[in-house]
Amino acid sequence: LKTSIVERGGGHVSAAVFDWLAPPPKEVQERFWDLIIAADLIYAFAAVDPFAQALDTILGPGGSSPVPVDDDETGQPQKRQKASEQHRQATRVFYAHTSRSDDLDVQMNRRLAEKGLMMQSLGRPSGRPVGAINQVVLDRVELFEISRCKREGGC
């Protein structure tokens, strides 16, 4: 990610990584994330539950990560604002998925739905082969937006 481009536009970029088999660290859980970008994470049944749990934890009950806090110049979160001063918006989650089996995709959608999450297809990306990633592989990639279900009682 070209952080310099974002920063020239007045934005800020930060990232975090965590082990799905452990609870998300405090710095992941307590930050507001405008955008979550993920790619090719579900390639085995064992990854489905941790993936769904991680998204459920980060998105919280309303489809947003915890209320936003501004970073100081070192990139560290500042003290939380009062609730009345907080602006809450939905965290956007974009996921590029390569289908490996119909059964695995069904299981992934089922687990996400159980957490009150849904995947909406954004179609297939356009692109040209790069290195070992040939057109056959690219043709199997589909882009999704994952969000909280909008209706009561699940997806």
pLDDT of residue 86: 42
Per-residue confidence (pLDDT) for residue 73, from 0 to 100: 58
With a cut of 70, say whether residue 57 has pLDDT above it: yes
- In tens, the pLDDT along 108-124 reads 999 999 999 999 999 99
> What is the rounded distance in angstroms from the CA atom of residue 105 to the CA atom of residue 110?
8
Strands (E) in 30-112, as ranges, are 35-39, 92-98
